[in-house]
Amino acid sequence: VSRPLVALLTDFGTGGPYVAAMKGVMLGICRDLDFLDISHEVRPHDIIGAGAILMATVPYLPAGTVIVAVVDPGVGTARRALAARAGGHVFVGPDNGVLAPVLDALGPDELVSIENPRFARPSTATTFEGRDRFGPAAAWIACGTALGEFGPPVAVFTRERRPEPRAAENTLEGEVVWVDRFGNLVTNISRSAWLREAAGRSGDVLAGGRSAGSLLRTYAEAAPGALCPVFGSTDQLEVAVREGSAAETLGLGPGAPVTVVWR
Amino acid sequence: VSRPLVALLTDFGTGGPYVAAMKGVMLGICRDLDFLDISHEVRPHDIIGAGAILMATVPYLPAGTVIVAVVDPGVGTARRALAARAGGHVFVGPDNGVLAPVLDALGPDELVSIENPRFARPSTATTFEGRDRFGPAAAWIACGTALGEFGPPVAVFTRERRPEPRAAENTLEGEVVWVDRFGNLVTNISRSAWLREAAGRSGDVLAGGRSAGSLLRTYAEAAPGALCPVFGSTDQLEVAVREGSAAETLGLGPGAPVTVVWR
Amino acid sequence: VSRPLVALLTDFGTGGPYVAAMKGVMLGICRDLDFLDISHEVRPHDIIGAGAILMATVPYLPAGTVIVAVVDPGVGTARRALAARAGGHVFVGPDNGVLAPVLDALGPDELVSIENPRFARPSTATTFEGRDRFGPAAAWIACGTALGEFGPPVAVFTRERRPEPRAAENTLEGEVVWVDRFGNLVTNISRSAWLREAAGRSGDVLAGGRSAGSLLRTYAEAAPGALCPVFGSTDQLEVAVREGSAAETLGLGPGAPVTVVWR
């Protein structure tokens, strides 16, 4: 029998004790867990970026993974804690929008508010619910506790006002949602949105108002140093620079406008 | 049966081969180990910061964890190597102070000097005792070797002159020991020291000579951008900035004075 | 029975979804894998640095490890994908030179071109062969698929023009190949090359044209702040600064000349 798998996404960083403390508590609850670190380097409090990274990871996780996402600027306040079953996985995290993209995409089969104190760590701390609340819930779920044990079903979850691309007659306007290690600017324009809006037309890409040329199939089709719009590994439009960093070349980051002009 | 768990804390970084070489050697000794990375990003040679991170992690580790801490500016010199049983765990590391806070807090039940060459890698290198000496010792211990096999018992261990808060009639003077990813300045003033010294009084906090106001319960009680003294997730006083970085706002880091003024 | 071990070396970074997506796909193929992260912080596209890090890690991995190295500026082009059995391990990666140092050192017992589409993920993406091709191949191999199933044997592999030290009558000229977290400048001059060329003579080391003095046994033999040439943990010559960073002190990085002058 395989060990239960818990995937973690946080903004805790790996320089301090936070990730290991959270994992240590989880191993105390469910000793045979396997961990899969998605990332602990989400920009602090960046709910939108974290949601995009989850979207780019979840399709590749094995069935039955428990995913716990803790990017939580409202820690210690009254915002709800969620557990959701969707797409063959279970998701645990604050009800602040971080889970919204993936839950919207997969459609939750079950959604509960985590309230039962039996599954939380008693703690005087009010600043570390990853360790005291979300992590423990994920560990109990991974070892077999049913979602219904945690609290009442809820009907809705918070959708952070996340940017959707806006279509006009001759353009599709999106924006950068995160920047990868190569300096590639990953946008909120999916391949399917492009195909739907293009309706057979070709498109040129503008990033931060500057022309990045027309869509290429892969980085290697661009000249070294040239801007290069491609559909990246997660089928989102990204603007890259071959053998360079588009983020540095263009001086752009999350939130910067990226527009497709149809011709 | 669960796999033995070894938790690692080093200043090796994750950009090179050091962590994987150490783990590879350990797996060659005890193939069924599970690793839990505490951090490999301790500031190079920062024994005090590493000791504080251990203190903030160890209480959350499952019983029977073997913890190996390698922050070792004296690598290759004659300083002793220690193995200690304390608090239901085993600790392995150089006798340079990195283990002192946690051993002082837990009280060692057994303490030996690691000397038996049978448990070290033969190596021409004199610069990598994490791989050649501490890692192997931790792996042998995780797979069942008794501490007494490694060398003679010792009575004392090195306590790096680590800063303790100093109490005066109207103040408690501490300092920053590490800075987390959010820029929170984590101090050496514990909740219990505050309560003992306060004796019912309220306290205002000065960080680097600048007023940070009075103690709050959680970050979210501060206005965005405001300084915010709280007891953080490890029950140490920290100075934070809500939705910002106290380290950047104040220009402070490890060693900076943080003072409580009682009123 | 132990779980199969897959060691990973990439330039993907740990801030985004790439590593977890690759691992998720691999767990879907071979659920009982154990992962050992060598590093995901190779400088983007740095084939030479990645090759040196592999050389410094592989000798310490337990027998039978599957090593997958994805540093791949040519992703999406026609360059070959390799699987090789060598030194009791299996290596998987692009045929672009990243595996060349370790395959040259170990001598491959079997070398095939990965071509069988049955073992790749069907994908519209052309930019992420770590997830779609190399990772899956490593997972199938770890769970027992024979190398011959992947494609035809090949006789040769690409050797990136990597720098070899050049010996003259009174000097041995090498260069920095990577810089570790302590700022140590790790060169391509091995202990055995030094011994062979020295022929009994002592040597002084110049780094970037500046004298670093004569060879020491360990960092602690240098004065604090002084330059310090030592054979590091992987038996390569490195230039360090005791309790400091040689990279910062000298303003040097990969490619910088390091010369031994015999006397």
The arithmetic mean of pLDDT across residues C155-164, rounded, is 82
Q: What is the pLDDT of residues B204-250, one digit of tens each?
A: 999 998 999 999 988 878 888 899 999 988 889 999 998 889 999 99
- 3-state class of C141 per DSSP? helix
Give the DSSP H or E segment for C27: helix C18-29
Cβ contacts (< 8 Å) between B76 and chain C: which residues? 217-220
Inform me whether the C-beta atom of residue C124 falls under 8 Å from chain A C-beta atoms.
yes
Q: What is the CA radius of gyration of chain B?
A: 20
| Rounded mean pLDDT for each run of 10 residues along chain A, 263 residues in total | 92 96 97 97 93 95 98 81 97 96 95 95 78 96 97 92 85 95 94 93 93 88 90 90 92 95 94
Which one of C57, C178, C234 has the shortest CB-CB distance to B24?
Answer: C57
User: Do A258 and A189 form a contact (C-beta atoms < 8 A)?
Assistant: yes
- The predicted pLDDT at position B163 comes to 76
Task: Give the helix ranges, DSSP H, for A87-155.
Answer: 100-106, 129, 135-142
Query: Does residue A185 contact residue A252 with C-beta atoms inside 8 Å?
Result: yes
Instruction: Give the model's pLDDT for residue C64.
Output: 97
Please, which pLDDT band fits residue C122 given cuts at 50, 70 and 90?
Answer: confident
Reported ipTM: the value is: 0.92
CB atoms inside a 10 Å sphere around CB B28 = 16
pLDDT tens across B107-154, in order? 999 999 999 999 998 876 667 889 999 999 999 999 999 999 999 999
Flag whether residue A126 sits within 8 Å of chain C, measured between CB atoms. no
Q: Which chains touch A (3 or more CB pairs under 8 A)?
A: B, C
Helix (H) or strand (E) holding B176: strand B171-179
The pLDDT of residue A229? 95
Name the pTM for this structure.
0.94
Q: Does C133 touch chain A (CB under 8 A)?
A: no
> pLDDT for C241-254, tens place per residue?
988 899 999 999 99
E runs forming strands in B16-164: 34-39, 66-70, 81-86, 89-94, 108-113
Tell me the pLDDT band of C227, cut-offs 50, 70 and 90: very high
Tokens for A156, please give them. Answer: 């809705």
End-to-end CA distance of chain B: 55
From the list A66, A70, A79, A22, the residue with the least C-alpha distance to A46 is: A70
DSSP state of A244: B
What's the pLDDT at C164? 86
Which residues in chain B have their CB less than 8 angstroms from residue A23's CB? Answer: 36
Task: Give the lowest-confidence range in B121-125, B168-172, C156-160.
Answer: B121-125
A126 inside 8 A of chain B by CB: yes
DSSP, collapsed to helix, strand or coil, labels residue A206 as strand
- At B188, the pLDDT band (50, 70, 90 cuts) reads very high
Residue showing tokens 């306590």: B159
Distance CA A239, CA A245 (A): 9
Chain A: residue nearest C46 by CA?
Answer: A243
Alpha helical stretches, state H, chain A? 18-29, 47-57, 100-106, 129, 135-142, 191-198, 246-250
For residues A131 and A129, give the distance between their C-alpha atoms in angstroms, rounded to a whole number: 5
Catalogue the E-assigned strands of C180-216.
185-190, 203-207, 210-214
Which of A35, A60, A238, A249 is the mutation pick for testing C, counting most C CBs within 10 A?
A: A60
Q: Chain A neighbours among B 10-69 (CB < 8 Å)?
A: 14, 36-42, 53-54, 56-57, 59-63, 65
- % of chain B beyond a pLDDT of 70: 97
What CA–CA distance (Å, rounded) separates B29 from A42?
A: 36
Q: Look at B41 and A76 and tell me if their CB atoms are within 8 Å.
A: no
Within 10 angstroms of residue A169's Cβ, the number of other Cβ atoms is 5
* Nearest CA distance, A38 vs chain C (angstrom): 5
Across chain C, mean pLDDT equals 93
C44:A5 CB<8 A = no
